[in-house]
Every structure is written in C-alpha cells, then in structure tokens.
C-alpha cells in the first residue's frame, strides 16, 4: 500500500487526445518527496535541453504536494512546472487554494501534459473518469468566468478549476493560471495557452492512506494550535500595518528611483479604511485557518481577492494609491496576468514613451493620466495588439526587440525575468546570493528564514532569537543574527549558510506542499513558524512511513536543489547570467560580489561557473546527471569539488549542511 501519495500520475497527450493512468515508482517519493522535486526529475528525463518551450514536446506538470489531502494543516500549494518561454529555463510556480488536494482525492499525484490540442479544450477529471472536452465556447472568457461556466456545464459546483484567460490564450509571457483566489504565474501560463488548454477541472472523493494516522492526527492538533497562535500575532500579508515598509523600500513601477518620504499616517489611515470598508471577508486555502486572503468588493468591479504583493504593484506602476489597485486587480485577474511582472512591463512602456523611444505612432491616443495609461497598455498587451505584441514578451525581450536605447530601461530583470522593484542603499550579501543564484525567478520563493535587516540593539536581538525555535537546536544562525549590526556587514560564511538555509526550506515546502506563510517565509519574523527543519521529518514519516530524520531530509533538499540547477545548466545557464538588477542597490562592489559568488559556489560543491561537480552530483545519487554532463562536455571529469574548508565555512558546520 502507498501512503500519503496515490501512486498514480495522469498522463495527457493533447496532440493525440490520449489519456493514461500510470503507476509510479515509489522510489521517486523516497528520493525527491513530491511536488517540485519529482516534477524536476520528470522534466530531466523527458524534455531534451534543446526543446523550445512552445514545442509540443515541452511538458507541463501540475503536482500535488506529498502531504496534500492528509490531515497536516496548511498543506495545499500546488506546484506547476515546465520550461519558460521568457527565460528558456525551468519554470516553477505555486498556487494555493484547493486544486492539489482535490487532485489527490481524485486519485492522482500529478498531471503530466504533453502535445498541443488542435483547438481550445479543457480537461475534466472526476475520479477515474477523465475527459478532454471542447472549450471553443470559452475562448476569450475570463479566468473566473471560465471556472463558473465549467462548473455549470458539468453540474458540479464543487469542481476545482484552474484556468487561463485571454493573456494565456495569446501566449503573453506574464500570463498566469488562476484558481479561485490564487494563481500560478512566472512561466506556465503561456505554455498552457500554447497547448490550447483553457482549463483543468478536478473533482475527487477518494481516500488517502496514512501510515500512522492516529499519531499524525494527534500531532496535527498541536500544529493547528500553533497556527492559531500565529494568527493572534497578526500576518503582514493579511493586514496593512506594514504597508509603510512596502512603500519606503519598493520603487514605484519600473522607475530607477522611488518616491521618498511618500508614506504618512494619513495615507495609512486612508488605505486601511478603503480596505476594511470594502472587504467581504478573509479566507484561507484547503485545511488552513490562516485566512491570509482578502476578498474585496469594490464599487463597479467584480469581487476579487488577493494576498501578498498583488494589492501594491499596479498602483505603484501608475503612481496611484490603493484605490487604483482595487479598480484594476479584478479585470487583470480575469485576463489572467501575473501581478508581479505585468505592472513592471506596463511601467516600462510608459518610461519608453516619456523618453521618446515609443511615440504616438506606437501608442495612438495614449492617455495623459498614468492610471489610464496602465489600463490602455494592459488591454493591448493581453491582446498582443500593436506594440503590445512586443511588450507581451516581458521587459528583457521587449527592450531588445524595440531597440533605440530601450535596453538601458531594462534595469530590473534577472535571468530575463522581472524582479521586485526594490531600490535600496547598501547591498545585503545573502540577498545578493539569493537573487543572483536563485532558480525560482522570484525572491519571494527563496527568502524568508532569516531576517532581511538587523535589529538596532542587542536587547532586541536577544529577544528575537529567544523565541526563534525555527533554528533550534543549531545555535549558529542565532550567533549570526546577534553579531549582525549593519545590513551590508555580514561575513561570507554567514551569507552562504543563510542562503543555503533559505533555499532548503523552500525546496522542502515545494515538494511536500507546505504554504510558505506557515514555514519558509515566516522565519524572518521570529516566533510563530509552524513548520521547520526540526519537525518536518516526523510529520513526513508519520504520513508516508518513511524512516526520515533531519539529515535525510536535508539530503533530499540538496538533491532537488542540484537537480534543478542541472536542468538550467543543461539549457545554458552559467555564471555570467547570475546578476541581480544593476540598480537594485545604490552602492555596489564588483570585486566583493564576485568573491561572494566564488564562496557560495564552493559552499555548494559547484565549479567556478556554477556547475555542480561530478563528485557533488554522485554523492547525492545524481549519477545520471553527471553522466549526461560528461557526455555533453559540460563537465570534463577533472573538476575538483572545492574544499568545504573555505573562507565561507571556517566555523564548524553541522552534518546537515547549514541548519
């Protein structure tokens, strides 16, 4: 009997209209857990490195987390993986809601989609009954409208639907896949559109087997109490107290400089009133009481919901206030565009217009009001009309297609992907490493276990680490934090270990399905973290029956991390690509940054060019990767894994590698 996982994948070939239920190898779970980990292995095996992301041979994978559908609370993040047309690299996206657990209850751990349908279709999964159905009547429909119409058509109000909108149909690079109050963006949306897959609807009623159900349920009661405690102290993703942080640290739109001293108590009060006067309720995802999603009914707009940065990015791009985001978020979500990247693309176009690079010929009847400009640009981008056809390819590609000096306005991309428009003073070394070397294309998928800035007094630092159970029993990170006085003054040793720890928590979360707001993203706030490296092994063991300890879990993280790195190396990623945006920090030191990169690569067991060595790969059971690299000439076999006794690691390290 298989525990926690169903043991089956659903294989869909849209070109042939073929559907197969395929039993999986249980060793895959033992080696990679699930979610993103297993998806990376599938992409390695099935997509050659020269495959174009818009080829029918590219694979689109929707993966339930290993612990989806179990009693473990807050475990609901579905991983969506493919190769991105924007970056030509591994695309990793997550969406919350109910989709992944519903898929598990239908009897599948993941959906593996290949080929390209002759015309628009949607997928209907109802336990053992799976159909590819015509969706031409849904062409041009919004994401949430599509979900409603599909439920009505199927007479199944409880079906969980993930859908693309007009942006996805038109293969806009920043297109998202929307599911309820959550979305998967940064890569898979345009691939889903290219495959002419409008939506996936899932309904499942099957049981999921647990290895030690009584013990797991007892532990889950404690975890629910922990979530309740974290709710008592508030959640900055659900409330507005920290908007001042956002707007004093983030740039506005794609601009090189932010508006300083913008925030005020009056503005805070106005924004808070707008939110709470128009908020229907706060809701959570499957089996989670966190309730960090705000449902808004704004006059003249359809009801919508958001968490995280969605409420900030559009009004920042337009130099407007919160009410502007509330006016545009609903329509943008219906079109199915990522609110992380899309506003930056639109602001980039405004910059080009103001610089004279784009003209009235490119943007006929372009409004003078900045808010109306954003709306105008959104409409032409999602339809790929006129200059919108170029802007739809994202800032990096659009800048080079437009030319005429547009390249210098591409000042906020890394690896061809838009980053959060943060403009700070002096460099934060761990964040330099996370942004430069991260494979997930967004800092929010990498950061979180260690605070972004030091606290000013020793008393405050000591109070912080006293409740920092996330790092126990390892005291090293407490020492790093207690000794940290200035953002830019932290040792390379600490920077490498902190980056490694941040990566570990996210890679584990993204394989088992934990929400980062209960785990990897919350460590920087001290107490209130529900899941961490010290309790995760027991939870996974009780659910799956695996004999797993902290070191074993850390090894799985290292395997998954190096496999994802290998996927990108095989597609051409090298050291020269690993650079944060040039003006992300005002003060830069190239020599220091390159030494930091050297130390990080050494810490990870990679070459000077950021390629995992044969020794590193083989030690993690990734011999098939090293053999491929040797065959392709990516490795020669003569590389020596740098000594672990490097300047980055002079202090004694725990066996687990940093946590």
- Which CATH number fits the domain that encloses residue 364? 1.10.569.10
Same domain, 412 and 437: no
Domain-ending residue, one of 418, 452, 471: 418
| pLDDT tens readout for residues 264-301 | 888 888 988 998 999 999 888 999 988 888 899 998 88
- On whether both 140 and 245 belong to a single domain, the answer is no
- Whether 411 and 532 map to the same domain: the answer is no
Judgement on whether residues 413 and 439 belong to the same structural domain of the protein:
no
Q: Is the pLDDT of residue 631 over 50?
A: yes
Tell whether 399 and 443 lie within a shared domain. Answer: no
Q: Which residues pair with 345 in a beta bridge?
A: none
Q: Stretch 420-445: mean pLDDT, rounded?
A: 86
Same domain membership, residue 362 and residue 265: yes
Q: Which of 201-205, 474-478, 591-595 is predicted with the least confidence, judged by mean pLDDT?
A: 474-478
Asked if the structure places residue 361 within a domain, the reply is yes
Mark whether 171 and 267 lie in a shared domain.
no
Least confident range of 546-550, 579-583, 587-591, 647-651: 647-651
Decide if 229 is inside a domain: no
- What is the extent of the structural domain holding 65? 8-203
pLDDT above 70: residue 365: yes
Least confident span in 43-47, 158-162, 222-226: 222-226
Q: Which of 51-65, 81-95, 254-268, 631-645 has the lowest mean pLDDT?
A: 254-268
Domain match, 591 and 533 both: yes
Q: What share of the chain is helix, strand, coil (3-state, %, to 5)?
A: 45, 15, 45
Clarify whether residues 406 and 432 are in a common domain: no
Name the 3-class secondary structure at 583.
coil
The reply to whether 394 and 538 lie within a common domain is no
The DSSP 8-state label assigned to residue 337 in this structure reads: B
Cα distances from 118 to residues 124, 134, 162, 308, 374, in angstroms, run 17, 10, 20, 37, 34
pLDDT band at 17; cut points 50, 70, 90: very high
- pLDDT of residue 238 exceeding 60, the answer is no
**In a domain? residue 401:** yes
H-assigned helices in 155-208: 166-169, 188-194
| Distance in angstroms (rounded) separating the CA atoms of residues 501 and 651 | 16
Q: What is the pTM of this model?
A: 0.94
457 vs 485: CA distance, rounded Å = 8
Residue 68 lies in a domain: yes
In percent, how much of the chain has pLDDT > 70?
91
Do 198 and 243 fall into the same domain? Answer: no
Examine the domain organization and report whether 403 and 429 are in the same domain: no
Domains contained in the chain, number: 3
Q: Quick check: is 226 in a domain?
A: no
Per-residue model confidence as pLDDT tens digits over 118-145: 999 999 999 999 999 999 999 999 999 9
Q: Is residue 656 part of a domain?
A: no
Whether the per-residue pLDDT at 255 is higher than 70: the answer is no
Confidence (pLDDT) at 209: 97
Flag whether 59 is in a domain: yes
Say if 13 falls within a structural domain.
Answer: yes
């Amino acid at each position: 009997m298989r525990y926690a996982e169903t043991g089956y994948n659903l294989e869909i070939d849209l070109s042939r209209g073929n559907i197969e239920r395929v039993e999986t190898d249980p060793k895959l779970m033992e080696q990679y857990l699930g979610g993103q980990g297993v998806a990376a292995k599938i992409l390695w095996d099935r997509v050659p490195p020269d495959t174009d992301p818009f080829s029918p041979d590219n694979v689109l994978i929707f993966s339930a987390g290993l612990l989806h559908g179990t009693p473990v609370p807050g475990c609901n993040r579905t991983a969506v993986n493919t190769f991105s047309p924007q970056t030509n690299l591994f695309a990793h996206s997550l969406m919350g809601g109910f989709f992944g657990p519903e898929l598990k209850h239908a009897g599948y751990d993941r959906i593996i989609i290949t080929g390209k349908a002759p015309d628009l279709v949607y997928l209907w999964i109802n336990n053992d009954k799976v159909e590819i159905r015509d969706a031409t009547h849904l062409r041009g429909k919004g994401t949430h409208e599509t979900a409603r119409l599909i439920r009505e058509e199927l007479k199944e109000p409880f079906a969980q639907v993930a859908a693309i909108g007009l942006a996805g149909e038109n293969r806009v690079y920043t297109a998202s896949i929307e599911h309820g109050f959550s979305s998967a963006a940064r890569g898979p949306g345009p691939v889903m559109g290219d495959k002419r897959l409008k939506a996936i609807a899932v309904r499942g009623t099957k049981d999921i087997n647990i290895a030690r159900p009584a013990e797991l349920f007892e532990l889950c009661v404690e975890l629910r109490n922990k979530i309740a405690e974290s709710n008592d102290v508030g959640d900055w993703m659900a409330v507005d107290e920290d908007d001042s942080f956002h707007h004093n640290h983030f740039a506005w739109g794609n601009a090189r400089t932010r508006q300083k001293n913008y925030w005020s108590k009056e503005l805070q009060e106005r924004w808070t009133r707008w939110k709470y006067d128009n908020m229907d309720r706060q809701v959570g995802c499957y089996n989670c009481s966190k309730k960090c999603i705000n449902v808004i009914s704004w006059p003249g707009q359809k009801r919508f919901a958001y968490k995280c940065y969605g409420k900030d990015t559009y009004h920042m791009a337009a130099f407007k206030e919160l009410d502007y985001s509330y006016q545009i978020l609903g329509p943008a979500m219906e079109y199915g565009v990522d609110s992380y990247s899309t506003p930056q693309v639109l602001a980039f176009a405004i910059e080009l217009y103001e610089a004279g690079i784009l003209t009235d010929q490119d943007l006929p009847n372009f409004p003078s009001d900045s808010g109306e400009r954003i709306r105008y640009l959104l409409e032409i981008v999602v339809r790929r009309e006129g200059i919108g056809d170029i802007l739809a390819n994202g800032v990096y590609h659009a800048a080079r297609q437009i030319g005429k000096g547009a390249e210098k306005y591409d000042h906020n991309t890394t690896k061809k992907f838009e980053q959060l428009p943060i403009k700070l003073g002096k460099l934060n070394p761990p964040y330099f490493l996370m942004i430069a070397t991260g494979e997930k294309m967004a800092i929010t998928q990498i950061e979180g276990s260690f605070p972004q800035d030091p606290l000013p007094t020793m008393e405050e630092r000591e109070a912080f680490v006293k409740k920092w159970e996330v790092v126990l029993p390892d005291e090293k990170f407490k020492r790093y934090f207690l000794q940290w006085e200035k953002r830019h003054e932290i040792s390379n040793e600490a920077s490498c270990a902190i980056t490694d720890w941040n990566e570990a928590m996210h890679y584990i979360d993204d394989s088992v399905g934990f929400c980062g707001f209960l785990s990897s993203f919350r460590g920087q706030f001290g107490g209130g973290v529900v899941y961490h490296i010290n309790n995760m092994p027991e939870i996974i063991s009780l659910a799956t029956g695996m004999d797993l300890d902290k070191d074993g879990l850390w090894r799985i993280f290292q395997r998954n991390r190096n496999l994802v790195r290998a996927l990108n190396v095989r597609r051409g990623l090298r050291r020269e690509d690993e650079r944060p945006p040039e003006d992300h920090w005002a003060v830069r030191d190239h020599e220091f940054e390159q030494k930091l990169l050297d130390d990080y690569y050494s810490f990870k067991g990679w070459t000077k060019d950021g390629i995992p060595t044969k020794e590193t790969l083989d030690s993690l059971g990734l011999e098939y990767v090293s053999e491929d690299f040797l065959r392709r000439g990516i490795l020669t076999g003569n590389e020596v894994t740098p000594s672990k006794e490097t300047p980055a690691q002079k202090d004694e390290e725990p066996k687990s590698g940093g946590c």
